[in-house]
A and B are shown apart, each in its own frame.
Chain A
Amino acid sequence: QSALTQTASVSGSPGQSITISCTGSSSDVGGYNSVSWYQLHPDKAPKLIIYDVTKRPSGVSNHFSGSKSGNTASLTISGLQAEDEADYYCCSYTSSSTWVFGGGTKLTVL
């Protein structure tokens, strides 16, 4: 199972919106509504910010939102804040009953 494809880096200014994409196949992203997104800050454990494509865990800001079209899932961060600067990873369930992560996207807030 190959890693899901994510853009290596994205940047935006405070207040702007950015979207990070995560492309897989019909055997993972396209076949299941089990896509999640994680935020990673240096030296901290990953934090779940989106699960089941669009849902936010309790306590996660609503300026994070998720969507999916075909084999591509997307994470949108609206109203960028300095503290959003981090690495973001998508994760999907697969037809092999395994899970696969994306390669990660580094978000820089200018």
Chain B
Amino acid sequence: EVQLVESGGDLVQPGGSLKLSCSASGFTFTVSTMHWVRQASGKGLEWIGQIGIKTNNYPTIYGASMKGKFTISRDDSRNTVYLHMNSLKTDDTARYYCKVWLGELASDYWGQGALVTVSS
């Protein structure tokens, strides 16, 4: 069974930093491009970015408005992808999801999300 489990969500002060983790199981993590998406309360989905696989030297791509604030990394030995967030603002308060598209299953899979609250 494919599972994605995010962790690390927390209350953080404006200007602070946070690192989210997404632990994956049930599929071949090392050959899968991983994505991060967020949804603020009452707002729409926003694609944050993605990280590719080792054979391509782990390329990362970010949404235009996401560059500079977010950094995505992965540890294939732990089947885990990370989202590093810095200079957080109240607007960054959202639920953050990791997701993966699995072509062999012709579907994508999402975690349950990690809640990040930016507030003083």
* Chain B contacts for A98, CB-based, 8 A: 47, 49, 61-64
> Which residues of chain A have a CB within 8 Å of any CB of chain B?
1, 3, 38, 40, 45-46, 48, 51, 55, 57-58, 89, 91, 96-104
> Which residues of chain B have a CB within 8 Å of any CB of chain A?
35, 37, 44-47, 49-50, 61-64, 97, 105-108, 110-113
Nearest CB of B to A29, in Å: 15
Using A46-B110, A57-B107 as known contacts, say yes or no to A100 and B97 having CB atoms under 8 A apart: no
Nearest CB of A to B81, in Å: 16
B111–A100 touching, CB < 8 Å? no
Q: How far is the CA of A110 from the CA of B37 in the complex (A)?
A: 31
Q: How far is the CA of A57 from the CA of B61 in the complex (A)?
A: 26
* Chain A contacts for B112, CB-based, 8 A: 45
Q: How far is the CA of A105 from the CA of B83 in the complex (A)?
A: 28
* Chain B contacts for A40, CB-based, 8 A: 45
Using A51-B106, A57-B107, A58-B106 as known contacts, say yes or no to A97 and B61 having CB atoms under 8 A apart: yes
Starting from the known contacts A58-B106, A99-B35, A101-B47, 4 additional A-B residue pairs (CB-CB under 8 Å) come to: A45-B113, A57-B105, A101-B46, A103-B44
* Chain B contacts for A102, CB-based, 8 A: 44
B47–A55 touching, CB < 8 Å? no
Q: List 8 A-B contacts (CB under 8 A).
A: A45-B111, A45-B112, A57-B105, A98-B63, A98-B64, A100-B47, A100-B63, A101-B37
Q: How far is the CA of A100 from the CA of B112 in the complex (A)?
A: 21
Using A48-B108, A51-B106, A96-B64 as known contacts, say yes or no to A91 and B44 having CB atoms under 8 A apart: no
